Structure 1
Amino acid sequence: MSDPSVIHDIGYQRYAGPRLGRGAVFGALYVHGLRAAFGLGRSAKAKIFPWLAVGIVSLVAVIIAAVRSQIGVLPLDYQQFADTLSWLIIFFVAIVAPELVSRDLRAGVLPLYFSRPLRAFDYVAAKVAALVTAAWLLLAGPQFIIFLGGAFTTKTGFRGVLDELGDLLPGWGYSLIWAVLFAAIALLVASLTGKRAFAAGGIVAVFLMTTPVVGVLAFLDTNNSQELAGLASPMTLVSGVGSWLLPGPGTGIDVGRFGPVYLIELVTVVATCLLLLLTRYRKVASL
């Protein structure tokens, strides 16, 4: 039997390498979140829906590009493409947001995260950035496919490519608006429960249950009711901002002179969701 008073050297050594700090932790969380959004590094089951969504939007983009090459007219422009496929973004964030935050709540790993040089702001920012990037890529990638189709079939040479690029960049900006608003709302709802099914259902409910309200308000016989009705739903809110910032035929909804009101509400909704999300995790970090 060994003497308990004897100290044995079992080879433990102090870490003498670089200490990367908060920035590296933020980067690791962001990359992990982005990979998780598309099921990378996860089971085959976790990859089914994200890549099914990618396949659907990519197929639509290929069809649009093919039709354009035949008839010479773009069936859906870049803004209309985002509007048309916004329903898919709802289900995408409803599935991905619980994967990013609800799993951490259920597994009880947040105290481990916050025991490191990681603040609640870093955690929230990394999760938001990951979901915004994933949702934006879901729209921006197919939009780039449409751009390539237009660039390779243009009849005006380099000038036509530049014109097409001038259409693509606002479309990417519009897709970013969709991604930011949807990600902010989805993560806030998902952060309220550790059960992924409840979180996903709550996210879908927030988006879909507000849509009929727009229709009801639009039929009210009051001044400017139709132009202001879109403020009642996140989906029509983004469309209203798009029709004001990027006016064009068949783009967005009719907001009349209330475009700035739509933009103010959108910024307010995003800021409120992010502040509530930060408050939620600061409370968790303090436990």
Structure 2
Amino acid sequence: MSESTGVIHDIGYQRYSGPRLGRGPVFGALYLHGLRTVFGFGRSAKAKIFPWLVVGIVTVVAAGVTAVRSQLGEVVMTYAQFADTMSWLIIFFVAVAAPELVSRDLRSGVLPLYFSRPLARSDYPLAKLLSLVTALWLLLGGPQLVMFLGAAFTVDNGLRGVWNELLDLLPGLLYAGLWAAVFGAIGLLVAALTGKRAFAAGGIVAVFLMTTPIVGILAILPSQTTTELAFLASPMTMVNGVGTWALGDLLFERGGGLPIGGFGPLYALAAGLLVAGCVVLLLARYRKVATR
């Protein structure tokens, strides 16, 4: 009876001798990878079509608004109104981007590999959320910068005019950040509930679109208080309400505000609680996933 013997083959693997990076660099790598994923970098050409189509659309709109202002001297759209106008397009962008960030990892079962590294359970969802929020803010804020640069070369009063234009731009960028936080938090939470990207995308669109008719129903009720509070029923109109209260008539000079009465602070509080609640539920979701 022959005795079997093992053989060790040297196929060229070597031990890693570089620095051992900790939790911070791992979080940063996840964040940058997520940001690249949203815009299709490092993926196939097909994966780049939709995100860059959206980038192209918002840039063309901003360029058109800038051209009209430079030629006719008329402000067609304020910075804050740009975010409002593009919000419907951003819904579908989130519906595509959020499942790519988290649903694929859930379905392929690679999360145990992530959590085998020096990475807290909360780091993974927070890095993905930060990636999505940053991408959405760039998507809404970048075109506003195009509008600002165009206005800076056409405004009167020299540097004073440019300064006044900058003072209009900054609140618009903050408003874009609010849109990004609300859209990103809701979208990533819905996407984290399933590993099937189609289901996640449909759920994200449904959350935003199915709540809008509720606002319409509440807004036609005879009570004025109910009408002023009706916009809390939808994430989109809730953000509009915060903008109406915080930014005022200066940035909504073309009638973009909502009739929210004196409930502006309540809208701001509701938006903050909505984002915080989504983050808490997202962290709870990944605590559960990590222990399976």
User: TM bucket by the smaller chain?
Assistant: over 0.9
Give 1:253 shift.
1.1
Deviating more after overlay: 64-73 vs 10-19: 10-19
**Counterpart in the other structure of 2:242:** 241
**Counterpart in the other structure of 2:223:** 222
What letter is aligned with 1:61?
A
Aligned length: 287
**Counterpart in the other structure of 2:232:** 231
**Counterpart in the other structure of 2:181:** 180
Deviating more after overlay: 67-76 vs 249-258: 249-258
Counterparts in 2 of 1:116 and 1:157: CA distance versus 1, 3 Å: same
**Counterpart in the other structure of 1:106:** 107
| TM-score, with structure 1 as normaliser | 0.96
**Counterpart in the other structure of 1:286:** 291
Counterparts in 2 of 1:3 and 1:253: CA distance versus 1, 3 Å: same
Q: Determine the C-alpha separation between the residues in 1 that align with 2:147 and 2:291.
A: 48
Cα-to-partner distance string for 1:114-152 (whole Å, 9 max, x where unaligned):
011111211011101000011111111110010011001
Cα-to-partner distance string for 1:178-217 (whole Å, 9 max, x where unaligned):
0000000000000011110110000000000000100100
2:268 is the counterpart of 1:263 = yes
**Counterpart in the other structure of 1:254:** 259
What letter is aligned with 1:257?
G
Q: Determine the C-alpha separation between the residues in 2 that align with 1:161 and 1:113.
A: 47
What letter is aligned with 2:274?
V
Q: Determine the C-alpha separation between the residues in 2 that align with 1:197 and 1:8.
A: 45
Q: Determine the C-alpha separation between the residues in 2 that align with 1:70 and 1:7.
A: 76
Q: Determine the C-alpha separation between the residues in 1 that align with 2:206 and 2:121.
A: 27
- SS across alignment from 1:272: helix
Q: Determine the C-alpha separation between the residues in 2 that align with 1:5 and 1:77.
A: 74
- SS across alignment from 2:153: helix
Q: Determine the C-alpha separation between the residues in 2 that align with 1:229 and 1:113.
A: 42
What letter is aligned with 2:210?
M
Give 1:8 shift.
8.6
Q: How does 1:107-122 map to 2 (within 5 A)?
A: 107-122=108-123
Counterparts in 2 of 1:12 and 1:92: CA distance versus 1, 3 Å: closer
| TM-score, with structure 2 as normaliser | 0.94
Report if the CA contact (8 A) 1:80-1:252 is conserved: no
- The share of aligned pairs that are identical, in percent, is 67
Counterparts in 2 of 1:12 and 1:58: CA distance versus 1, 3 Å: closer
Unpaired stretches in structure 1, ≥5 consecutive residues: none
Instruction: Note the aligned Cα RMSD (angstroms).
Output: 1.8
Q: Determine the C-alpha separation between the residues in 1 that align with 2:91 and 2:169.
A: 23
Cα-to-partner distance string for 1:232-259 (whole Å, 9 max, x where unaligned):
0000000000010100122331211001
What letter is aligned with 2:206?
A
**Counterpart in the other structure of 1:45:** 46
Q: Determine the C-alpha separation between the residues in 2 that align with 1:114 and 1:271.
A: 24
Deviating more after overlay: 208-217 vs 68-77: 68-77
Give 1:74 shift.
1.1
Q: Determine the C-alpha separation between the residues in 2 that align with 1:87 and 1:97.
A: 16
